[in-house]
Amino acid sequence: VHRNAGEEEFHQAVREVLESLGRVIAKHPHYADQALIERICEPERQIIFRVPWVDDRGLVRINRGFRVQFNSALGPYKGGLRFHPSVNVGIIKFLGFEQTFKNALTGMPIGGGKGGSDFDPRGRSDGEIMRFCQSFMTELWRHVGEYTDVPAGDIGVGGREIGYLFGQHKRLTNRFEAGVLTGKGLVYGGSRARREATGYGTTYFVQSMLESRSDSLEGKRCVVSGSGNVAIYAMEKIRAFGGKVIACSDSNGYVVDEAGIDLDLVKEIKEVRRQRISEYARRKGGDALYVEGGSVWDVPCAVAMPAATQNELTGKDARTLLKNGVIAVGEGANMPCTPEAIRTFQEANVPFAPGKAANAGGVATSALEMQQNASRDSWTFGQTEARLAEIMRRIHDSCAETAEEYGAPGNYVLGANIAGFVRVAESMQALGVV
Ligand code: NDP
């Protein structure tokens, strides 16, 4: 603990995984040999750097950049970049730690890493975003590469930012190394269905979870938090499965629309105009209602999908959701439910899909993008989505079977932690003490 003092989110993520590992160590004590558990909790490398940039008024601004290369036992480090004022080393470490197990669960050859900056993109002009991204890459380029570390997007980093980062990488290295970043635009080496993958994948996972209980999303009232990349495409797939999304949010408030959230309007507001979700109620009129502040989890629903940020759904929110009849919860974001919230759902026997399994469709499709780049190929949307659907089904089944094998049927948290851990541990042991 003293080595990672003050890194609360990192402690929370590690504690959750370690709590699951007792059963696997009891059965296979050799996984604890050679300080494997201690090694798995220690990032292989942490890079912290200065990011100076010039704003539109000509003032020099300074932010802090991070890249935590957590574990490369299964492949090059892989994980997104987050630009948000709350970013610090503890948050990037929690995300990198989670990413290691998530990537293992996909069954693909990718290690775990995460990065970002405390830069706040809100209200920044396009030129400022570009200059920031260029400065960020001016340090990052020496630490990344197709066989070393392959970043992607996360909160505050979408297609526009990946484009500026890739452009600067190309300029600095004089190489069009498509496989160095994923989430790229289609014209310069991106994959179809990558933008949709995390939200779609989470929805596929929740649908599988419901199907295993002879139920489905058809006709269900759903609430999705956030209104960014993951939230938008979760809403799109819920609708395709016959569900009805009643509410979504941003960090200022939430909108409720009993007619069902109008996705085209959300996309125009968030993806094109980059405005706040409050605009939705103003533009839509009718019964659409905007609530400033408050919790989107007060809106009654059958299925809840937190898709904004860590610890956004508390024990109190979980009790409200239960009271309102929630029947399934799927984490689109990373660690959005507090430990108390997870316990509350599990004790009530509500199926709960942890982020490291449920939102793995994003990184899995990033690995598909790397495959397409390596073979200089470009698959159709249908082909890529079919692969994503199959991967999500496999992850669901592997979590369910592992939970069953270790005496905790229906506990997807335990199943995901153990299944991910075993794959990383097997590889680390084969590679020796490195
Ligand atoms: P975006 O930046 O596209 O959207 C984030 C959304 O969450 C916005 O609506 C934002 O609102 C809201 N939000 C962010 N921070 C907070 C906060 N502190 N409090 C309340 N709301 C907040 O990010 P993504 O959709 O890409 O990411 C969402 C989550 O999904 C994150 O946890 C990310 O780690 C996880 N994830 C993303 C993947 C991807 O492929 N993009 C893959 C796997 C996981 P506002 O505009 O007000 O900030």
pLDDT of residue 197: 98
pLDDT in tens, 231-268: 999 999 999 999 999 999 999 999 999 999 999 999 99
Kindly state the average pLDDT of the residues 363-368: 98
Helix (H, G, I), strand (E, B) or coil at 24: helix
Q: Which atom of ligand 1 is nearest to the CA of 366?
A: 40
pLDDT of residue 330: 98
When the pLDDT of each residue in the chain is averaged and rounded to a whole number, the result is 98
Q: Tell me how crowded residue 153 is: count the other CB atoms within 10 A of its CB.
A: 27
Kind and range of the H or E element at 289?
strand 289-292
User: In the CATH scheme, what is the code of domain 196-350?
Assistant: 3.40.50.720
Please determine, for residue 122, whether its predicted confidence score (pLDDT) is greater than 90: yes
Reported confidence tier of residue 14, pLDDT bands at 50, 70, 90:
very high
Residue nearest to atom 44 of ligand 1 (CA): 333
Q: Tell me how crowded residue 259 is: count the other CB atoms within 10 A of its CB.
A: 11
Residue nearest to atom 40 of ligand 1 (CA): 362
Write down the ipTM of this complex.
0.98
Question: To test the ligand 1 pocket, which listed residue (92, 103, 154) has its Cβ within 8 A of the most ligand atoms?
Answer: 154
Q: Which residues pair with 68 in a beta bridge?
A: 46, 114
DSSP, residue by residue, 73-96: SSSSEEEEEEE-TT--HHHHHHHH
Residue from 78, 93, 114, 356 carrying the catalytic annotation: 114
pLDDT in tens, 34-54: 999 999 999 999 999 999 999
Please determine, for residue 1, whether its predicted confidence score (pLDDT) is greater than 80: no
Pairing of strands 112-117, 60-71: antiparallel
pLDDT of residue 2: 83
Token pair belonging to 118: 């405390």
Q: How far apart are CA 288 and CA 84, in angstroms?
A: 29
Query: What are the domain boundaries of the chain?
Result: 43-179, 196-350
User: In the CATH scheme, what is the code of domain 43-179?
Assistant: 3.40.50.10860
Q: Which residues pair with 117 in a beta bridge?
A: 65, 83
Closest by CA position to 365, among listed 157, 216, 191: 191
pLDDT in tens, 421-430: 999 999 999 9
Q: Is 244 a catalytic residue?
A: no
Residue nearest to atom 22 of ligand 1 (CA): 251
Q: How far apart are CA 81 and CA 47, in angstroms?
A: 13
- CA distances for 301 relative to 223, 349, 402, angstroms: 6, 17, 29
Q: How far apart are CA 377 and CA 395, in angstroms?
A: 26
Kindly state the average pLDDT of the residues 182-206: 98
- CA distances for 180 relative to 82, 140, 176, 381, angstroms: 17, 11, 9, 22
- Decide whether 43-179 matches 196-350 in CATH topology: yes
Residue nearest to atom 5 of ligand 1 (CA): 228
User: Helices 8-27 and 412-431: crossing angle, nearest 10°?
Assistant: 80
CB-CB contact of 164 with 129 (8 Å): yes
CB-CB contact of 77 with 430 (8 Å): no
pLDDT of residue 73: 98
For residue 23, the one-letter residue type is R
∠163-66-392 over CA atoms, to 5°?
65
CB-CB contact of 198 with 355 (8 Å): no
Q: What is the DSSP letter of 299?
A: S
What residues flank ligand 1, with Cβ below 6 Å? 84, 86, 153-156, 158, 198, 226-231, 250-252, 307-309, 312, 332-334, 359, 362
Against a cut of 0.95, is the pTM above it? Answer: yes
Interval between CA 229 and ligand 1 midpoint (Å): 7
Write a three-state SS string for 35-53: HHHHHHCCCCEEEEEEEEE
- CA distances for 319 relative to 312, 325, 346, 416, angstroms: 14, 10, 12, 24
Q: What is the DSSP letter of 142?
A: G
Reported confidence tier of residue 305, pLDDT bands at 50, 70, 90:
very high
